[in-house]
Amino acid sequence: MEDQAKRKGIEPKTTSEQENADLAYNSLKRQELESENKKLKNDLNELRKAIADRASKNSSSNELQDGYNLLLGQLKAANEELDVRKEEVLILRSQIVTAALQKEKETTNHIETNNLPEWTNSKKPIDKEEALRSYHGLCESKKLLEAQLQSQARKHEDELEAFRTQIELLKDDIEKKQEMLNHTMSLSPEAQVEYSVQQEITRLTNDNLDLKELVEKLEKNERKLKKQLRIYMKKVQELEAASQSTTAKPEMTRQVTVQRREKDFEGMLEYYKEDEALLVKTLITDMKPHAVSATVPCLPAYILFMCIRHADYINDDQKVHSLLTSTINAIKKVLKKNNDDFEMTSFWLANTSRLLHCLKQYSGDEAFMTQNTAKQNEHCLKNFDLAEYRQVLSDLSIQIYQQLIKVAEHVMQPMIVSAMLESESIPSLAGVKPMGYRNRSSSMDKDEEGPGSYTLEALIRQLGQFHGVMGEHGLDPEIAGQVVRQLFYSINAVTLNNLLLRKDVCSWSTGMQLRYNISQMEEWLRGKNLHQSGAVVNMEPVIQAAQLLQVKKKTSQDAEAICSQCTALTMLQIVKILNLYTPLNEFEERVTVSFIRNIQNRLQERNDVPMLLVDTKHTFPVLFPYTPSALSLETLHIPANLSLHFLTRV
């Protein structure tokens, strides 16, 4: 028992020794921090004094001196506040240490005075444990205060660093202004004025750029808030509608079916400005003609115009301008990418011309409203005049038309000579060829004979395919008729030029074959209701050349008949054909030189243009007659396969 009492008596002494060691360590640490803090204060005072001397020597403006004094005052106030905090911390630490020592002495005296049986048999908590808990609490408080002191020191260092940075910036600014002042003083008075004006302009420009950035940020924030407001308004309306439907429900004795009334749409489509790129990409960039083949012709044009109508309805000129500009640029890019695709070119010619007609039909101009219904007149644009964009779309339509002609001519070019001059569409003339020339081609189609041989049927099928594609895309019949007229001109030019350059085809049998082929093409025009398009008139030179190959060429009466009939051919062309004419056999005579001279003498009075070959690159000017649509915009249906779910019908 005595040994146990001795060991327990030694434990408080060991604990007190450990606490004394901790106190000694903490005091040393505190002394180090205080010495480091004094060193920082000395460095700060030296830096402050150096800057003050420099500022007093080089200060060029009262404004900089005032700014420096203000910064110095703030630094001094921060240092004073830091000193007060440090004094408070030291006072608290001294009070805590004094209380801990006093508590330790009381605990030790109490343990020594009490005898062993009393504290071993006591059922109450031992005073020693309470003292230890108190001491540990004081240690924790001491650590907390040290942590606060360290944080204050770090904060003080950060503030010092910030002040040093500001001082460096002020020094740089002072040096720059000093250099500017020295440079200005060295200039003449006029140059000084000019230099100061330039500096002011630079400053104002920078301020203007900063303000512009601020305005852009505010506008972006405004758009975001407007979008959120619209979303919240829709939610509020839905909640109100739901609450109204659930509030009052009268009791009914029998079940009643509620009929939903169809909402009246105004023929507009709403979209958010952020979805404009997706709209253009879906309707133009990624659009394939077969995707809308089963819908209303020119559906993309109608959808785009309905979006334009909504932008006009909300009086958003930027939205109208952005959508139309993006549409025109996207169409140009698609056509550039598909510059050899007749189907794609025809599709966008139809849609561009239809969008142009819609801008006219709903412009509000009385000249374009004569054929509108009352509902269509209600759908006219309210706020904007898009006449300038109509002109841009008209120019774009002309470019697309010219590209369409170029693509079609490129496809037909290798077919014309073989189909018109070489294929034997009349079986009875298969063996009738000029003397000295063998049979150059037979009545074979491209698919049977290869890429170098085409029949008249193949050429007519190609024309029919072109016409069918244009009709399927909803291209105006007047524009399609002009396309056919231009293609017939190309057929005439290529056929006549080859006839004028090849002796083997200048014969009576070729004239008969050529006349038959032209009659088949005229029959195709009547079947497609295109006989009024002017295509037959463009074939008149070839028709007269075929007649020239078939008529008699002996007497002066024959010469007079030729001159009166061949009005679409020039004198050079007539003489060239007569010179190239080849008899079928030995019984047919060649055209005499005297007959040709007789023809030349008779044609001298014509004053023709001295032209032998026909210009194959000539293009007739295209006209886009105004053709309003009878479609009501509010009845237009958008198929789901277009993925235009972000559009809202209004």
Residue 66 forms part of a structural domain? no
- Evaluate if residue 522 carries a pLDDT over 50: yes
Residue 148 forms part of a structural domain? no
- Evaluate if residue 558 carries a pLDDT over 80: yes
Same domain, residue pair 499 and 538: yes
- What DSSP designation does 260 have? P
Residue 410 forms part of a structural domain? no
Residue 247 forms part of a structural domain? no
Q: Which domain holds residue 554?
A: 477-603
Same domain, residue pair 365 and 282: yes
How many other C-beta atoms lie within 10 A of the C-beta of residue 372?
Answer: 17
Q: For residue 526, give the nearest of 484, 569, 492, 493 by alpha carbon.
A: 484
Same domain, residue pair 592 and 515: yes
Domain count, the chain: 2
Same domain, residue pair 390 and 496: no
Give the DSSP letter string of 52-107.
Answer: HHHHHHH---HHHHHHHHHHHHHHHHHHHHHHHHHHHHHHHHHHHHHHHHHHHHHH
Same domain, residue pair 326 and 396: yes
Same domain, residue pair 503 and 576: yes
Same domain, residue pair 396 and 278: yes
- Evaluate if residue 394 carries a pLDDT over 60: yes
Q: Is 585 helix (H, G, I), strand (E, B) or coil?
A: coil
Residue 324 forms part of a structural domain? yes
Q: Is 440 helix (H, G, I), strand (E, B) or coil?
A: coil
Give the model's pLDDT for residue 255. Answer: 38
Residue 50 forms part of a structural domain? no
Give the model's pLDDT for residue 408. Answer: 97
Contact 142, 98 (CB under 8 A): no
Give the model's pLDDT for residue 78. Answer: 72
Task: Write the pLDDT tens digit of every residue in 246-291.
Answer: 554 444 344 333 333 345 688 899 999 999 999 999 999 999 999 9
How far apart CA 558 and CA 413 sit, in angstroms, is: 35
- Evaluate if residue 623 carries a pLDDT over 60: yes
pTM above 0.85, yes or no: no
Q: What is the torsion angle, in degrees rounded to the nearest 10, for the CA atoms of residue 170, residue 171, residue 175 and residue 177?
A: 10
Same domain, residue pair 274 and 391: yes
Give the model's pLDDT for residue 275. Answer: 94
**Structure-model confidence comparison of residues 205 and 494, the more confident one:** 494
**Structure-model confidence comparison of residues 128 and 59, the more confident one:** 128
Q: How confident is the model at residue 94 (pLDDT cuts 50, 70, 90)?
A: confident
How far apart CA 629 and CA 371 sit, in angstroms, is: 9
Same domain, residue pair 489 and 553: yes
Lowest mean pLDDT among 143-152, 369-378, 426-435: 426-435
Same domain, residue pair 320 and 377: yes
Q: How confident is the model at residue 450 (pLDDT cuts 50, 70, 90)?
A: very low
Give the model's pLDDT for residue 237. Answer: 80
Task: Write the pLDDT tens digit of every residue in 176-222.
Answer: 888 878 887 888 888 878 888 888 888 888 888 888 888 888 988 88
Average pLDDT score, the chain: 82
Q: How confident is the model at residue 17 (pLDDT cuts 50, 70, 90)?
A: low
Residue 389 forms part of a structural domain? yes
Residue 415 forms part of a structural domain? no
Give the model's pLDDT for residue 20. Answer: 65
How far apart CA 500 and CA 502 sit, in angstroms, is: 6
Instruction: Read off the pLDDT of each residue in 24-48 and give the average, rounded to a whole number.
Output: 75
**The last residue of a domain, from among 587, 603, 619:** 603
